[in-house]
Structure 1
């Protein structure tokens, strides 16, 4: 598995991803009308895309929209905070990333219960610039962790990896470039 996932928030960053040596990328915040075009461009460049289901404008982030995306767009994977979305993607044979936002201990408890139920392929911990929480989650689950959010420097990347993250997701193009030809790719 690649260690850094370039995350695109717009077409300009997506085009930068397409020109990179990274194989897998994440697309956040898009419109349903752009999905097919993004997927076609990715395939043309031998790239595999993960789409954030909660941030596709024009689609409700539920299991029906997930079924549509899985069947019609056929991404490598999906990301969601919703358990039903994760379970539908798994049912359709699409990789799933359960995104969890950790704002307090109650959010952590609730997230761990959802993860136990959904058994996603990956967990994306937000914010990822908290190595101590990555260690705690790593102790409690055997699912690979992706650290995302507020990771801005090489030291923060290294701290997340040392804490047990299997990968980093970032929209910081400078970090993409910095780690493109290292063991983090």
Structure 2
């Protein structure tokens, strides 16, 4: 079972959102925008409240997203997972036995074919596809790949969440509080 059965992964953009989610039934949270100086306290707050963080390494201000940064995050913060668009970050996270989630942007057919090649090569634990409001593409990817899919980006309604899940996504990442409340 993926993410302890959690179908929506709340994406935290502001500390106020984290404080709201700490009291929620969600076990897994995605940390999007953060500053390197906040990481330790955010990680401790989440851990002390039984939450598991999936850290989006590309969006940490003040931290270069390279293998050394990923090593630092894995060894120091010990997150549940690392999200990144960079293949080197995914490979490094896997070496450290941290969930490796490779984020991809679905721009066109060429991008889709590139995603298939990169996924085959890197074998991340999950891929996150953006925008996640293309259920027919998610269904195609689900049929073609053996890697579980997360859908994210531009998902604004419960109906869009359900469409992505029905198409084959194992979970949806979203920063929309209305969706959090529904699930």
Q: Same fold by TM-score, threshold 0.5 exceeded?
A: yes
Scaled to the shorter chain, the TM-score interval is over 0.9
> Quick check: 1:131 aligned with 2:126?
no
Structure 2 CA distance, aligned partners of 1:109 and 1:150?
22
Higher relative contact order (CA 8 A, sep 6+): 1
The one of 87, 91, 102 equivalent to 1:83 is: 87
Report the aligned-residue RMSD. Answer: 0.7
Structure 2 CA distance, aligned partners of 1:158 and 1:135?
13
Structure 1 CA distance, aligned partners of 2:18 and 2:153?
18
> TM (normalized to structure 1)?
0.95
How many residues are matched?
179
After TM superposition, the runs of 4+ consecutive aligned structure 1 residues lying more than 2 A away are none
> Quick check: 1:69 aligned with 2:73?
yes
Structure 2 CA distance, aligned partners of 1:105 and 1:63?
29
Match of residue 98 from structure 2: 94
Structure 1 CA distance, aligned partners of 2:118 and 2:36?
27
Match of residue 7 from structure 2: 3
Structure 1 CA distance, aligned partners of 2:21 and 2:121?
33
Match of residue 178 from structure 1: 182
> Residues 66-109 of structure 1: CA distance to partner in whole angstroms, max 9, x if unpaired?
00100011101010000000000000010011100001111111
Give 1:10 shift.
Answer: 1.0
> Residues 145-169 of structure 1: CA distance to partner in whole angstroms, max 9, x if unpaired?
1110111111111111111111011
> TM (normalized to structure 2)?
0.96
